[in-house]
Amino acid sequence: MLRRCLDFELVARRKNLNDGSNCSSSVMLQSDERFASEDTQLVPLKPSNDSPRCILPGIGLHLNALAITSQDNKNTKHETLSSGRQLSLPGSTASFHSPKSSQDPLHESLTSASTERDVVAVESGVLPAEDASQTCGYLVSEERRLENAGETESCKRCNCKKSKCLKLYCECFAAGVYCIEPCSCQDCFNKPIHEDTVLATRKQIESRNPLAFAPKVIRSADSLPEPGDESSKTPASARHKRGCNCKKSSCLKKYCECYQGGVGCSINCRCEGCKNAFGRKDGSVLMETEGEQEEDEMETCERSTVDKKMEKTEIPNNEEQNLGSALPRTPLQFCRSLVQLPFSSKCKPPRSLLAIGSSSGFYTGNKYGKPNILHSQSKFEKSLQTAPEDEMPEILRSNCSPNSGIKTASPNSKRVSPPNTGFGSSPSRRSGRKLILQSIPSFPSLTPQH
DNA sequence: GAGTTTGAAACT
DNA sequence: CAGTTTCAAACTC
């Protein structure tokens, strides 16, 4: 069901966005396709577009999906609802294997397949109406966001010089997508042409750290919200899987992965002087709407929890003001529950976001500043909330929750201990991975359940 | 745009 | 596993 919901969401967006800016529409479409492809376990793709990162479709999904989608979007745009003409390529693996010098072709093929699926699903009415309704708010926002992105900046990707884009230093590689045109990397091996190398490297990295390509920000299972049940949302539900280790940034800058992911620091963090606006390691939460303000206002951080509570209530108001719209207020919980922020001016979605989820759509190149992230997210949160969790890999849920989670890795160690974890069991994650890497021995059992 | 800072990733 | 180095993003000027 969850998966279906996501797909639906995507589809809906697609439709809505078709008219939107190129960027947005394309992105959205991509995501859709991506999902579809995942379902089918197709392999993938390569991101073709410029803004794969701008929008991440969701949860648990691999970035590759995005990549794929980007092109897909384009394709879909035209074809979408119409015919499923497409490719001659048989979608799946076959396409993946054949490295084509030009990425587009590959993409196209992959995309097409997925696209069709989406369309079919939609048309068939497989998706529940509910989903659609939930998605509405999101869609609207998304649309807006996309527009903004298109207006403002073009998405930028990696800029690797020495890593050959084969290490986690490379955002593209870390996200599981191939580098594409927008990248400014040098000696890049993260391309379809070097598929073998990429896969081998990934395997190597995963052997060292099975969760290396897993979403960095996860939501704990216990916080799984019921759809529409805001009360159950827990601010702390989203956490960085491994925790940060910030020393100087006070977790107030994007150097901090927790902050970058829009989540609060947790007990897993080894940060010093944590002032994370999304939640401090000690459990206190700063509710400032404007993250930047927070930086300036140290006092705020020092406020007692009581004060903080007060802030929480206030926040929503701020949002409204900022947005100048009728956006629903965002309960504190809301802010935190969602995961990622759309920080980037560059359209690059927080990595973790991608994984987590659904929210991906939210992040985008928003022109809003960091703080805005919250705002924008809040818009969608309601509708989206359910999705993220759904997509969350079981493994993450069960093992990675802030409390139990990855703790395998002691709070002090960065590296995640190798698998014995139930990592492999998570269908969603698996599927995402599959898209990218055809198959990874280490996760044999993962299979998308539909 | 160049240079600096930062912290994750990689290495020893 | 701790310490160090490398790296590229984030940030500053």
pLDDT one-digit tens code per residue, A172-192: 898 888 898 778 888 899 988
Rounded to whole angstroms, the Cα distance separating A286 from A320 reads: 18
For residues A125 and A122, what is the distance between their CA atoms, to the nearest angstrom?
Answer: 5
Are both A6 and A144 inside the same structural domain?
Answer: yes
Q: In this structure, are A198 and A304 located in the same domain?
A: no
Question: Which residues does nucleic strand B approach, with CB less than 7 A?
Answer: A 167-169, 174, 205, 208-209, 212, 216, 242, 244-250, 253, 255-257, 414
Query: A55 and A83 share a domain?
Result: yes
Q: A410: Cβ under 7 Å from strand C?
A: yes
Residue A423 domain-assigned (yes or no): no
A449 assigned to some structural domain? no
Between CA A306 and CA A165 the distance in angstroms is 47
Total Cβ atoms within 10 A of residue A269: 25
What distance, in Å, lies between the first and last C-alpha atoms of chain A?
8
Q: A404 exposed, middle or buried (CB, 10 Å; 0-12, 13-18, 19+)?
A: middle
Work out the percent of chain A whose per-residue pLDDT is above 90: 1
Q: Which residues form the domain of A34?
A: 2-208
Q: Are residues A222 and A203 in the same domain?
A: no
Is A142 in the same domain as A10? Answer: yes
Do A168 and A205 form a contact (C-beta atoms < 8 A)? yes
A290 assigned to some structural domain = yes
Instruction: Find the residue closest to C1 using CA and C1' atoms.
Output: A413
Q: What is the domain count for chain A?
A: 2
> pLDDT, tens digit, for every residue of A93-133?
333 343 334 444 334 433 333 433 433 333 333 333 333 43
Nucleotides of C strand lying within 7 Å of any protein CB atom: 1-2, 6-11
Mean pLDDT of chain A: 51
Same domain assignment for residues A298 and A378: yes
Question: Left, alpha or beta for A347 (phi > 0: left; psi -120 to 50: alpha)?
Answer: left
- The confidence score (pLDDT) of residue A156 equals 60
pLDDT in tens, A217-274: 776 544 444 444 433 334 446 777 778 889 888 898 989 988 888 888 888 888 888 8
Q: In A128-266, which ranges are E strands?
A: 217-219, 238-240
- pLDDT per residue as tens digits for the range A204-219: 888 888 888 887 777 6
Q: Are residues A244 and A189 in the same domain?
A: no
Euclidean distance between CA atoms A24 and A51, whole angstroms: 9
Examine residue A421 and state whether it is found in any structural domain, yes or no.
Answer: no
Alpha helices, DSSP H, located in A343-422: 351-356, 370-391, 394, 400
Last residue in a domain, options A348, A381, A396: A396
Å between CA of A270 and C1' of C12: 26
- Asked if A39 and A137 sit in the same domain, the reply is yes
The mean-pLDDT minimum among A25-29, A91-95, A152-156, A415-419 falls in A91-95
A212 CA → B10 C1’, Å = 13
